[in-house]
């Protein structure tokens, strides 16, 4: 059975059975994670069915960022993925269940589980890429709105004279987590993609800081120098 056929079956199952209201973690998100994973997976020995399956079910249990068991969500998702595959996809190769479950469990940033297989490393990298670039920018502010969090501190947007607090200020999340993601990537391709898209977030920060200073046409070059993951450019 082709990967495309499996993908169509997974999407059909999710449309019928996956109950969720988080638009930052919808089927479109799962599809994008798979696209990124497929790119990272090129010219490797990774099992594509394991990667595809983990990409589509890694958020089958997804708890809000402020939930007390958020760090356990990927473990619950791994258990649920195994149950779904055994119950609703009986033709799925049983020999791959452990590999899929591990990739699902290890994908989460908050779980802090080290991926032990190439497939798990690829899925983790692909999911983390969703937090960077234009999509990452949209998702972080969507999530902040859902949680009712302010966007940024207009007087000190980069937290130069205060402690960073991404519960209070959404923009602080860039420095608290997002800009450090390239350093956590498990694959070389993932790291290069993460650096490129983290630079997009830095450019947004530079534009925002310029606008807050009344400059609507330029960017704050000092932000690029201080935060770009590709410093040789500046």
- pLDDT tens string for the chain (234 positions)? 799 999 999 999 999 998 777 676 789 999 999 999 999 999 999 999 999 999 999 999 877 665 666 778 889 999 999 999 999 999 999 999 999 999 999 998 776 899 999 999 999 999 999 999 999 999 999 989 888 899 999 999 999 999 999 999 999 999 999 999 999 999 999 999 999 999 999 999 999 999 999 999 999 999 999 998 875 554
Q: In angstroms, rounded to a whole number, what is the distance separating the alpha carbons of residues 198 and 57? A: 26
Distance from C-alpha of 117 to C-alpha of 121, rounded to nearest angstrom: 6
**List of residues 6+ apart from 147 with CB closer than 8 A:** 64, 65, 66
- Report how far residue 51's alpha carbon sits from residue 138's, in angstroms, rounded to the nearest whole number: 25
Structural domain spans, the chain:
3-116, 133-233
Quick one: fold of 3-116?
Hypothetical protein af1432 (1.10.3210)
65: exposed, middle or buried (Cβ count in 10 Å: 0-12, 13-18, 19+): middle
Token pair, residue 121, equals 């490393």
Distance CA 55, CA 106 (A): 12
Q: 133-233, which class in CATH? A: mainly alpha
């Amino acid at each position: 059975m082709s990967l495309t056929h499996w993908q169509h079956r997974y999407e059909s199952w999710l449309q019928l059975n996956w109950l969720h209201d988080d638009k930052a973690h919808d089927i479109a998100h799962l599809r994008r994670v798979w696209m990124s994973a497929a790119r990272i997976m090129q010219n490797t020995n990774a099992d594509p069915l394991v990667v595809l399956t983990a990409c589509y079910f890694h958020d089958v249990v997804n708890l809000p960022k402020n939930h007390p068991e958020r760090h356990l969500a990927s473990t619950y998702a791994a258990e649920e993925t195994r149950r779904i595959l055994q119950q609703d996809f009986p033709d799925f190769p049983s020999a791959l269940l452990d590999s899929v479950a591990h990739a699902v469990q290890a994908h989460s940033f908050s779980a802090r589980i080290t991926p032990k297989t190439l497939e798990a490393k690829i899925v983790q990298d692909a999911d983390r890429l969703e937090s960077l670039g234009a999509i990452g920018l949209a998702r972080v502010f969507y999530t902040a709105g859902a949680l009712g969090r302010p966007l940024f501190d207009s007087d000190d947007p980069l937290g130069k004279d205060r402690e960073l607090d991404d519960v209070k200020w959404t923009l602080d999340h860039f420095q608290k987590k997002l800009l450090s993601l390239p350093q956590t990537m498990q694959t070389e391709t993932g790291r290069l993609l993460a650096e490129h898209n983290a630079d997009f977030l830095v450019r947004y920060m530079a534009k925002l800081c310029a606008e807050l200073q009344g400059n609507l046409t330029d960017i704050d070059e000092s932000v690029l120098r201080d935060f770009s993951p590709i410093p040789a450019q500046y």
